[in-house]
Amino acid sequence: MRIEISKGIALQSGTFNAVIAPEKVIITALNSNADLQRFLFLFVCGNYSRILSSIGRTSTNFEVRRAFTAHQLFTILKEASHTIVLVEHDPTMFDGAETMIPPVAGALRDVGREALLILYTPAIDRPFSALVRSADRIFHITSSGDPGSHRNRSARTLRSGCPLPPAQMTLEVS
């Protein structure tokens, strides 16, 4: 199983992928891949989803689950047995439940071993930065109209000011 989210960037099965991108990018990637109809697909979101209403879901293999708290998200991930799991990040799930970030990150990692797991957000925040420390791959896609898209990305912090996970490396320009 493979999903191409942007030209030359593909997500593979058996990995935990963190994607920071405009909503249009992830919606286009999901709607343009007809093969997704053949697989068990789990979409997990919080109280409000920015992308769910735009995803073409004609398949009977498409399941939607809502998690309003970090505990509910943890339970959903532990019960997941799908080929593709897309979690739309909602930082409000971790309000007052910061202690749940490590267990949720571990559950994301576990699901990613057996499925194609995508943790998606349009903007980085503290809970997301903590969750992606255990990700196999992190993709930050910006649109050409984004004022930050032409900046030098060699700094050791992300746009939100949060530090990169310790396993991430940057190449310095000489």
For the chain, give the percent of residues with pLDDT over 90. 60
pLDDT of residue 155: 38
C-alpha span between 46 and 20 (Å, rounded)? 17
pTM above 0.75, yes or no: yes
Span 8-16, average pLDDT: 89
Instruction: Give the burial string for 69-108 (b: 16+ CB within 10 Å, else e).
Output: bbeebbebbeebebbbbbbbbbeebbeebeebbeebbebb
Span 99-128, average pLDDT: 96
pLDDT of residue 149: 42
Q: What is the pLDDT of residues 128-139, one digit of tens each?
A: 999 999 999 999
**What domains lie within the chain, and their CATH numbers?**
2-145 (3.40.50.300)
